[in-house]
Amino acid sequence: MKLNNKGWGTTEMIVISLALLIALIVSIYFISKLYGSFSLSNSNKIYVDLENNLVKATRKYVRDNDINVVTNYRVSYELLKQNGYINELKDSNNKDCNGYVIITNLDSKVYYKGYVICENYVTENRA
């Protein structure tokens, strides 16, 4: 009986590589289904956009009403909505959100920070 001592051939290597590639693709698919997304930044993008919309509306509100911020000033979403500066805050599930903007004056420089409160998300480091 003669043994084949040549090892794997090209055909066997291609078949095994394709099988491993298919297993990897299937694994990636199920992991992405389990976690919903490959990156957290994409899942939070809608909330960052909501925060930015609040800040933009607040800047316009402060400018239109000639508000002079000396130390800290808080502008709520309800106030912006009542005065027509913003329409609505809704998350990706079309659920209503709430929020506010803190305006801070440090050394004659004015900073705006938007905070959003939704069913599945709350801005970190809320004031």
Mean pLDDT along residues 71-85:
91
- What is the reported pLDDT for 70? 82
Alpha helical stretches, state H, 9-126: 10-35, 40-64, 77-82
| Cα 3 versus chain centre, distance | 61
- What is the reported pLDDT for 104? 92
Structure tokens at 68: 């002079």
Confidence of residue 79 (pLDDT cuts 50, 70, 90): very high
Mean of pLDDT over the chain: 85
- What is the reported pLDDT for 3? 62
Mean pLDDT along residues 70-82:
90
Structure tokens at 46: 């809608």
Which pTM does this prediction carry? 0.63
Per residue in 29-53, pLDDT (tens digit) is 888 777 765 555 556 788 888 999 9
Mean pLDDT along residues 65-90:
89
